[in-house]
Structure 1
Amino acid sequence: MTDPQDYPVTLDEIDGLALRADTVIQRLRERVFAPGSQKSLELTFNVRTAAEMVGRTEKAIRDAEADGRLPEPEKDPDTGRRTGYSLEAVNRMREVFGTLPHRAPEDPATVLAVQNFKGGVGKSTVVVHLAQYLALKGYRVCVIDCDSQASTTSVFGLNPDVDVDEDEDTLYPFFQHAGPESLHYALQATYWPNVALIPANLGLYDAEYEFAARMLQEQTFVLDRLRTGIQTISSQFDVILLDPPPALGMISLSVLRAANALIIPAPPNNIDFGSTAHFLKMMGATLNELAEHGGARGYNFVKILATKMNDQKSAHQAIKRVMEAVFPHDMMTAVLKDSAEIDNATANLMSVYEMTGAATRTETHKRCRVYLDAVGREVETMIRKTWPSHHAALRKEGIL
Structure 2
Amino acid sequence: MTDAQTYPVTLDEIDALAERADTVIKRLRERVFAPGTQKALDLRFNVRTASEMVGRTEKAIRDAEADGRLPTPDKDETTGRRKGYALDEVNRMREVFGTLPRRRDGDPATVLAVQNFKGGVGKSTVVVHLAQYLALKGYRVCVIDCDSQGSTTSIFGLNPDVDVDEEEDTLYPFFRHGGPPSLHYALRATYWPNVALIPANLGLYDAEYEFAARMLREQSFVLDRLRQGIDTISDQFDVIILDPPPALGMISLSVLRAANALIIPAPPNNIDFGSTAHFLKMMGATLNELSEHGGPRGYNFVKILATKMNDQKSAHVAIKRVMEAVFPHDLMQSVLKDSAEIDNATANLMSVYEITGPATRTDTHKRCRVYLDAVGREVETLIRKTWPSHHAALRKEGVL
TM-score bracket, normalised by the shorter chain, equals over 0.9
Is the Cα–Cα contact under 8 Å of residues 105 and 235 in structure 1 kept in the other structure? no
Q: Deviations over 1:331-364 (max 9, x none)?
A: 0000000000000000000000000111111000
Match of 1:329, SS state, is coil
* 2:81 is aligned with 1:68: no
Alignment of 1:263-274 (within 5 A): 263-274=263-274
Structural mapping, 1:291-310, within 5 Å: 291-310=291-310
Which aligned segments of 4 or more residues in structure 1 are displaced greater than 3 angstroms? none
Q: Residue in 1 aligned with 2:123?
A: 123
Distance 2:2 2:324 in 1: 53
Secondary structure of the residue that 2:317 maps to in structure 1? helix
Residues paired across the two proteins, number: 400
**Alpha-carbon distance in 2 for matches of 1:18, 1:259:** 34
Q: Which amino acid aligns with 1:83?
A: K
SS at match of 2:325: helix
Query: What is the Cα-based RMSD across aligned positions, in Å?
Result: 0.8
The residue number in structure 1 matching 2:205 is 205
Amino acid at match of 1:154: S
Aligned mates of 1:318, 1:236 — CA distance in 2: 44
- Is contact 2:111–2:261 with CA below 8 Å preserved after alignment? yes
Q: Partners of 1:178 and 1:258 in 2: how far apart?
A: 20
Q: Which residue of 1 aligns with 2:391?
A: 391
SS in 1 for 2:111: strand
Q: Distance in 2 between matches of 1:373 and 1:3?
A: 55
CA apart distance, 1:179? 0.7
State the Cα deviation string for residues 340-391 of structure 1 (Å, max 9, x = none): 0000000000000000111111000000000000000000000000000001
- Residue of structure 2 in register with 1:26 after alignment: 26
Structure 2 spans left out of the alignment, 5+ residues: none
Q: Which residue of 2 aligns with 1:78?
A: 78
Q: Is the 8 A contact 2:113 2:256 kept in 1?
A: yes
SS across alignment from 1:307: strand
Match of residue 97 from structure 2 = 97
Rounded to whole Å, the distance in 1 between the matches of 2:58 and 2:280 is: 48
Pairs within 5 Å for 1:16-55: 16-55=16-55
Query: Does the 8 A contact of 1:261 with 1:301 survive in 2?
Result: yes
- Which TM-score applies when normalising by structure 2? 0.99
Q: C-alpha displacement at 1:219, in angstroms?
A: 5.5
Deviates more, 1:73-82 or 1:161-170: 73-82
1:80-132 Cα distance to aligned partner (Å, 9 max, x none): 11111000100000000000001002100000000000000000000000000
Partner in structure 1 of residue 10 of structure 2: 10
SS at match of 1:144: strand
CA deviation profile, 1:247-299 (whole Å, cap 9, x unmatched): 00000000000000000000000000000000000000000010011010000
* Counterpart Cα distance in 1 of 2:220 and 2:315: 48
Aligned 8 A contact 1:311 1:317 in 2: yes
Measure, in 1, the Cα distance between the counterparts of 2:219 and 2:127: 34
Distance 1:370 1:339 in 2: 11
Q: Unaligned 5+ residue runs, structure 1?
A: none
Which is further off, 7-16 or 168-177?
Answer: 7-16
The equivalences for 1:95-174 within 5 A come to: 95-174=95-174
Conserved in 2, the CA contact under 8 Å of 1:111 and 1:240?
A: yes
1:272-287 paired onto structure 2 within 5 Å: 272-287=272-287
- Gap change, CA 1:288 and 1:120, over 3 Å in 2: same
Secondary structure class of the residue paired with 1:217: coil
Q: Does 1:317 align with 2:317?
A: yes
Cα distance, 1:18 vs. partner?
1.3
Q: Distance in 2 between matches of 1:223 and 1:297?
A: 11
Structure 1 SS opposite 2:303? strand
Aligned residue number for residue 362 of structure 2: 362
Taking the aligned partners of 2:379 and 2:86, their CA distance within structure 1 comes to 25
Where 2:203 maps in the other structure, the secondary structure is: helix
* 1:148-186 CA-partner distances (Å, limit 9, x unpaired): 000000000000000000010000000011111100000
Residue identity matched to 2:20: R
Structure 1 SS opposite 2:263: strand
When residues 3 and 103 of structure 1 are mapped into structure 2, their CA distance, relative to the original with a 3 A threshold, is closer
Tell me, in whole angstroms, the C-alpha distance in 2 between the residues paired with 1:19 and 1:214: 32
- Which residue of 2 is the match for residue 190 of structure 1? 190
Paired residues for 1:210-229 under 5 Å:
210-218=210-218, 220-229=220-229
CA–CA distance in structure 1, aligned partners of residues 20 and 150 of structure 2: 20
Contact 2:220-2:293 at 8 Å conserved across structures: no
Corresponding residue number in structure 1 for 2:259: 259
Query: What is the CA–CA distance in structure 2 between the aligned matches of 1:335 and 1:184, rounded to whole Å?
Result: 35
Residue in structure 2 matched with residue 237 of structure 1 by the alignment: 237
How big is the shift at 1:10?
2.3
Query: Helix, strand or coil: the match of 1:304?
Result: strand
Is the alpha carbon distance of 1:110 and 1:188 closer, same or farther for their aligned partners in structure 2, counting shifts above 3 Å?
same
- Distance (whole Å) between structure 1 residues aligned to residue 274 and residue 79 of structure 2: 59
Contact 1:129 1:352 survives alignment (8 Å) = yes
In structure 1, distance between residues paired with 2:394 and 2:172: 40
Aligned mates of 1:340, 1:3 — CA distance in 2: 46
Partners in 1 of 2:352 and 2:339 — Cα distance?
A: 10
Q: CA deviation at 1:12?
A: 2.1
For residue 246 of structure 2, give the secondary structure of its aligned residue in structure 1: coil
Indicate how the Cα distance of structure 1 residues 219 and 319 shifts in structure 2: closer, same or farther if over 3 A, else same: closer
| Superposed CA offset, 1:4-57 (max 9, x none) | 133222222222211111111111000000001110000000000000000000
- 8 Å Cα contact 2:114-2:242 kept in structure 1: yes
Counterpart-to-counterpart distance in 2, 1:131 and 1:219: 32
